[in-house]
């Protein structure tokens, strides 16, 4: 009997311990558990606002002079004088002396031509006097009509022709003498120097190349799509040319210049199928004052923004806001996504211009969403996070026990 009692003692102890544990758990105060609702995706939006804008057509090209000429000698001789600026990069105004050719032979030729002219004039005067005497004698004889030979008309005509020939010779000799002084035909800079002091040059010898500095030109390739947004000037147009802004980096700093699209070349390039527009910039080297903040040198590569057509009530949004299928995502008043198809009037480098599909006040999503779906819940900057919800834990929940142990540990640490 005593053995049976001892055998029942361990199970009885275990049962009592289990009962005590259950009792303690039932007496533990209920701890609220927090459950967080998963927040909606945060997106950045741009409010659509209608604009009235001038379309901008981008282009690029090299700066070149409007006028370029190769200076050629019209007389031969030795160069006896050159201008101090007659060197590569030297500037000249219209009419400035570039160099002089030895004029002595041409001065002698001019004097000889003038002497011949004086002889021809004297011969003409003599023949005219003889003709007058012949006329008076014939009239005194009253023999009727005077014949041409009697009035020495052939001799007078020959003397007149000789005088005219002598005058032409004087003009040619004077012109040759004037050509010994070579002047700049327009304001510009010397880009190539081919002769120097003391050198003998012949007729048609190239002296150098002069680039005009009054106006610079840039040839800009324009596609058919570009032409759709431009008002190309006509050949009769003399003002109100489209404005053009030029940009280029000079010594690490980006500078801008102002010009105008003045004409097109009128012929499509057979290789690239583009037409070239011509942009002019006045006084690129600032020779007439501070026309530009920086000198625009010939040969510089520039980017251009050409003022195009004026359009009204369009929307400009970043290019990345447009999806691959030509749609945008909008956020409605309930903070849900809505897909919207739009019509793109023009795609620019970093933006697109929309003329249909948007209205003022639309919230256009700018954030790139990998798995966007219509009616998907989103959150905008400034929206509050979802409120924390409280619920009673399950009596048999292990989390509840863990929370109680954590609270007890925290209270113990505070004590």
Q: What is the pLDDT of residue 150?
A: 56
Q: Which two tokens stand for residue 84?
A: 């101090």
Q: Which residues pair with 53 in a beta bridge?
A: 311
Q: Which two tokens stand for residue 70?
A: 């190769």
Place of tokens 């090209």: 61
Residues 6+ apart with CB under 8 A from 166: 113, 116, 117, 119, 120, 121
Instruction: List the one residue out of 312, 283, 111 whose CA is nearest residue 187.
Output: 283
Report the chain's C-alpha Rg in angstroms. 49
Q: What is the DSSP letter of 383?
A: P
**Structural contact between residues 80 and 104, judged by C-beta atoms closer than 8 angstroms:** no
How many residues appear in the chain? 415
Residues 6+ apart with CB under 8 A from 26: 395
Q: In which order are the strands placed within the sheet that holds 91-92?
A: 68-72, 206-212, 188-193, 91-92
How many whole angstroms separate alpha carbon 277 and alpha carbon 218?
A: 8
Q: What is the pLDDT of residue 396?
A: 42
Q: What is the pLDDT of residue 401?
A: 39
How many whole angstroms separate alpha carbon 357 and alpha carbon 340?
A: 7
Q: What is the pLDDT of residue 144?
A: 58
pLDDT digits (tens, 9 = 90+) for 161-181: 999 999 999 999 999 999 999
pTM: 0.68
Place of tokens 């259950």: 22
Helix (H) or strand (E) holding 12: helix 2-27
**Structural contact between residues 43 and 321, judged by C-beta atoms closer than 8 angstroms:** no
Q: What is the pLDDT of residue 22?
A: 77
Instruction: List the one residue out of 92, 87, 88 whose CA is nearest residue 67.
Output: 92
Place of tokens 């004039």: 121
How many whole angstroms separate alpha carbon 308 and alpha carbon 244?
A: 10
Residues 6+ apart with CB under 8 A from 61: 218, 219, 220, 221, 279, 301, 302, 304
Place of tokens 């001065």: 107
Could you tell me the maximum CA-CA distance found in the chain, to the nearest angstrom? 203
- The CB density around residue 185, as the number of other CB atoms within 10 Å, is 15
Q: What is the pLDDT of residue 368?
A: 86
pLDDT in tens, the chain (415 residues): 555 666 667 777 787 878 777 777 777 766 665 555 677 888 999 999 999 998 889 999 999 999 999 999 999 999 999 999 999 999 999 999 999 999 999 999 999 999 999 999 998 888 888 777 767 666 666 555 666 565 667 788 888 899 999 999 999 999 999 999 999 999 999 999 999 999 999 999 999 999 999 999 999 999 988 888 888 877 666 678 899 999 999 888 999 999 999 998 888 888 888 999 999 999 999 999 888 999 999 999 999 999 988 999 999 999 999 988 889 999 999 999 999 999 999 888 889 999 999 999 999 999 988 888 899 999 898 888 766 444 444 444 444 434 444 344 334 333 3
How many whole angstroms separate alpha carbon 376 and alpha carbon 331?
A: 9
SS3 of residue 227 by DSSP = helix
Q: What is the pLDDT of residue 143?
A: 58
Instruction: List the one residue out of 16, 2, 32 whose CA is nearest residue 390.
Output: 32
pLDDT digits (tens, 9 = 90+) for 228-259: 888 887 766 667 889 999 999 988 899 999 99
Residues 6+ apart with CB under 8 A from 90: 83, 84, 189, 190
Q: What is the pLDDT of residue 25?
A: 75
Q: What is the pLDDT of residue 238?
A: 67
Q: What is the pLDDT of residue 5?
A: 61
Q: Which residues pair with 72 in a beta bridge?
A: 206
Q: Measured between alpha carbons, how far is residue 411 from residues 236, 255, 264, 366, 407 in Å?
A: 94, 69, 86, 49, 6
Which runs of consecutive H residues, i.e. helices, occur in 179-329?
224-227
Q: Which two tokens stand for residue 110?
A: 């001019």
């Amino acid at each position: 009997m005593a053995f049976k009692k001892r055998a029942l003692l361990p199970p009885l102890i275990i049962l009592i311990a289990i009962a005590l544990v259950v009792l303690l758990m039932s007496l533990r105060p209920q701890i609220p558990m927090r459950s967080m609702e998963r927040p909606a995706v945060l997106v950045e939006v741009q409010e659509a606002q209608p604009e009235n804008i001038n379309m901008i057509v981008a282009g690029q090209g090299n700066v070149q002079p409007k006028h370029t000429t190769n200076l050629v000698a019209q007389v031969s001789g030795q160069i006896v004088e050159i201008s101090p600026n007659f060197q590569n990069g030297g500037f000249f105004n219209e009419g400035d002396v570039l160099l002089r050719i030895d004029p002595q032979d041409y001065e002698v030729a001019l004097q000889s031509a003038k002497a011949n002219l004086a002889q021809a004039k004297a011969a003409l005067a003599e023949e005219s006097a003889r003709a007058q005497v012949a006329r008076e004698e014939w009239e005194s004889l009253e023999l009727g009509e005077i014949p041409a030979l009697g009035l020495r008309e052939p001799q007078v005509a020959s003397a007149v022709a000789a005088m005219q020939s002598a005058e032409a010779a004087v003009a040619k000799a004077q012109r040759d003498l004037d050509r010994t002084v070579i002047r700049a035909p327009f304001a510009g800079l010397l880009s190539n120097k081919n002769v120097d002091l003391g050198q003998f040059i012949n007729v048609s010898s190239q002296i150098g190349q002069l680039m005009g500095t009054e106006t610079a030109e840039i040839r800009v390739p324009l596609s058919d799509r570009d032409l759709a947004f431009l008002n190309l000037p006509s050949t009769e147009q003399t003002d109100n040319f489209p404005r053009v802004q030029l940009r280029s980096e000079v010594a690490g700093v980006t500078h801008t210049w102002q010009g105008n699209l003045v004409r097109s070349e009128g012929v499509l390039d057979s290789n690239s199928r583009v037409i070239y527009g011509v942009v002019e910039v006045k006084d690129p080297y600032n020779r007439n004052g501070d026309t530009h903040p920086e000198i625009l040198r010939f040969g510089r590569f520039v980017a251009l923004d050409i003022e195009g057509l004026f359009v009204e009530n369009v929307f400009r949004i970043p290019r990345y806001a447009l999806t691959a299928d030509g749609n945008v995502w909008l956020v409605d008043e309930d903070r849900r996504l809505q897909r919207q198809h739009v019509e793109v009037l023009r795609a620019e480098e970093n933006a697109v211009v929309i003329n249909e599909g948007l209205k003022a006040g639309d919230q256009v999503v700018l954030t790139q969403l990998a798995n966007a779906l219509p009616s998907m819940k989103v959150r905008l900057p400034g929206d509050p996070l979802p409120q924390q919800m409280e619920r009673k834990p399950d009596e048999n929940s292990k989390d509840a026990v863990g929370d109680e142990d954590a609270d007890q540990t925290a209270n113990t640490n505070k004590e």
